[in-house]
Amino acid sequence: MTEASPMPSTDQACSLDVGVGGMTCASCVGRVERALKNVPGVLDASVNLATETARVRLSAATSGEPDAVTRALLHRAVLNAGYEPRPAAPPNEPEPSPWAGFAPVALGLLLCAPLVVPMLAMAWGAHLMLPAWVQAVLGTLVQFTLGLRFYRGAWHALKNKTATMDVLVALGTSAGWALSLWLWWQAAPGVEPHLYFEGSAVVITLVMLGKWLEGRAKRQMGAAIRALHALKPEQAHLLRDGLETDIPAADLLVGDVVSIRPGERCPADGTLLSGRTQMDESMLTGEALPVPKQMGEALTGGAINGTGHVHMTVTAVGAKTVLAHIIALVEDAQAAKAPIQRLVDQVAAVFVPTVLFLAVGTLMAWWLTGHSFEVALIHAVAVLVIACPCALGLATPVAIMAGTGVAAKHGLLIKDAQALELAHKVDMVVFDKTGTLTLGKPVLLSVDAAPGLSREAVLAAAARLQTGSEHPLARAVLAAMPAGKAPGAQQALDVHTEPGLGLQGTVGADTYRLGSWRWMDDMGADAQGLLAQAQARMHEGATVSALAVQTAQGWQVQAVLAFGDEPKPDAAAALQMLRARGLRLLMLSGDNPQSAQAMARRLGLAPVEVLAGVLPGDKAREITRLKAAGHVVAMVGDGVNDAPALAAADVGLAMGQGTDVAMHAAGITLMRGDVMGVADALDVAGRTVRKIRQNLFWAFAYNVAGIPLAALGLLNPMVAGAAMAMSSVSVMSNAMLLRRWQPSR
């Protein structure tokens, strides 16, 4: 049992992952969930059949580091439900051999071969049937050695007043085995009766073969997680007093300086301290080309260093690194249960009892219509075997595992199963402008000062006001300061931000406000003849801010600052691709209408596809309004101001280079931060949902078609067992086709 990432909740709940062995079908999932939910302190439990884990959410009283009692209670609940509690698989566990666990299956095939080959030989007129006692010995060995797991599972299920696949297999094969013994006992001396030992043995072996194939496919679909964990280097070269010391990467601390040689992976997140290089971040972002890095730029743990020998200052270690965050998001997504799975769980809860009723009905119908009890029982056994709901429980989780895994490989982190399921229904995509459709690195184009004031003086005041701010416009102001003329020691005091408007602070004896022209209008500031300059800059498409000072006569504008930004290189093409898919587009911007429309023209957006002058709080309201109008809305953003809108949208997509707040509020994170990823994310989500639906169709189709055929006597138990095993294999194989998905770029 391992601790998972904290789950946001009003009661500060946390979650744990518990490994659960021995589950075979959707009914098992429901049983384990009910058992775990009955443990004191458990708020919720979600069991994933594909990963064989349970995500348990604990209340505030038990959150933090769960004590031994809590762990023991969870283990005991799983055990009492009839399953094997075990630690969740270590994330860095090496991939086992493709043939791991095949030995029992091979033994079953070996014991079944002498029973099946004579039956096949009869088609060519050869009579090689083994004596009844040999058939009984071989059939009994399979029934009560390899089949013992089904008896154990069935006993625990019946003891808990539930029915699972184990009950169906145990009842069906036991009935066939007992019928064979009875026919052998009733046979006249010297007469070789027709026995069914081979049917029961083959069913058990085929079920085991199906489960082994499932396990093998699960291990392959877990490759995305293993590949991400493999990015963590084992060693780091710590620099102390100019000397390198090799230490475990796990022992690094924030502030350490490490050396990274060409071809090595970054041992943690950090900042480039000296040297220049290129970093291969393809496993993190999907970006195939190396990214140039210079002094002061951020390095991500797990990225491969290029040709430069560089030094790095560690800024984050352990669970706080970008790589750890990515792994947590993917693991959460693969452990999540899609909304459609709730319907499957409801069906599974009544499915097995219904099958038992149908099997009894089949037995009585054939027997009461004049057929022998032997024939009636064989048909009832076929109903029990064909109806095993293995595929039903796997249909949704294996598709989610495959879809989220291949998406993570290409830098698309899908952390919300509900977002995954809704993404294919999206008909409108709403974009934030700055940092999402544009580079988010505006430059200061011009400074128009009021009469009697110098450009340098007003620029210095604006720089002092914004020192320490991470806003893109603030960085542009600071970057525009002449070399050697930093804001200096006279920093602004009492600085506070008005969201979507600007900021206010005190520099020396004066109180300043720096923000949008609309803010200046709202507070009745005296434009001092700068209105014409502001309007001219807006018509040119620039983003305009004004610097105002408080005087005895009120606020007076001292300068107009015009900023320019560039659209992202692929933004226009990405928007056109989304439009070609039939999606409606809308750009939200806090800029004035002229600036927003100017950028829209460069992006290929129509005037009606732009909404300017939108405050951060209004963004969420606009999303709510669009949803109320019947749209399924995807919101794409990157900043703190976008978090409410991302959360309000049906599907939130956050740019990977954006803020942590935005990434937590969104259901999907685009690690590359390019707009083309929006189409890719919607595409892979849509394909995943289609796979879920296809899997559910095939899972139900096998049962819906197979049960009547078995009840009508058109399937014998052996063929029914093969069909049941193939249903699980087909579902797994269909989901694995998602691994071949490639992004549009």
Q: What is the CATH number of domain 443-564?
A: 3.40.1110.10
Torsion angles phi and psi, residue 516, rounded to 5: -70, 155
- In the predicted model, what is the mean pLDDT of residues 717-725? 71
Q: Which run of H or of E encompasses 58? A: strand 53-58
275-288 pLDDT tens trace = 888 888 766 665 55
551-594 pLDDT tens trace = 888 899 999 998 888 888 889 999 999 999 999 999 988 777 87
415-434 pLDDT tens trace = 767 777 788 889 999 998 87
- Level-2 CATH architecture, domain 2-86: 2-Layer Sandwich (3.30)
Terminal Cα-to-Cα distance of the chain (whole angstroms): 40
DSSP secondary structure string, 99-126?
Answer: TTT-HHHHHHHHHHHHHHHHHHHGGGT-
Whole-number pLDDT of residue 275:
86
Residue scoring higher pLDDT (455 or 397): 455
Tokens linked to 41: 């302190």
- In the predicted model, what is the mean pLDDT of residues 518-530? 86
CA distance to 128, 433, 604, 609, 660, per residue, from 637 (Å) = 72, 8, 19, 16, 12
Torsion angles phi and psi, residue 243, rounded to 5: -110, 145
Angle at 379 between CA 373 and CA 383, to 5 degrees: 140
Domain locations along the chain: 2-86, 253-316, 414-439+567-682, 443-564
Tokens linked to 181: 């013994």
Tokens linked to 180: 């064979």
Which of 129-138, 434-443, 563-572, 707-716 shows the lowest per-residue confidence on average (mean pLDDT)? 434-443
Confidence band for 110, pLDDT divided at 50, 70 and 90: very high
Tell me which fold the domain 253-316 belongs to: 2.70.150
pLDDT at 657 over 80: no
Confidence band for 9, pLDDT divided at 50, 70 and 90: very low
319-376 pLDDT tens trace = 788 888 777 766 666 666 666 666 666 676 677 788 888 989 999 999 999 898 888 9
pLDDT at 643 over 90: no
Whole-number pLDDT of residue 157:
79
Tokens linked to 224: 């995305």
pLDDT at 214 over 60: yes
pTM of the model: 0.64
Is 414-439+567-682 a domain of CATH 3.90.550.10?
no
Tokens linked to 503: 């900021």
Active site residue 660: no
Closest CA to 458 of 524, 526, 549: 549
Angle at 298 between CA 295 and CA 304, to 5 degrees: 95
Catalytic entry in 416, 432, 448, 683: 432
663-688 pLDDT tens trace = 566 778 888 778 898 999 999 988 99
Q: CA-to-CA distance for 686 and 741, rounded, in angstroms?
A: 12
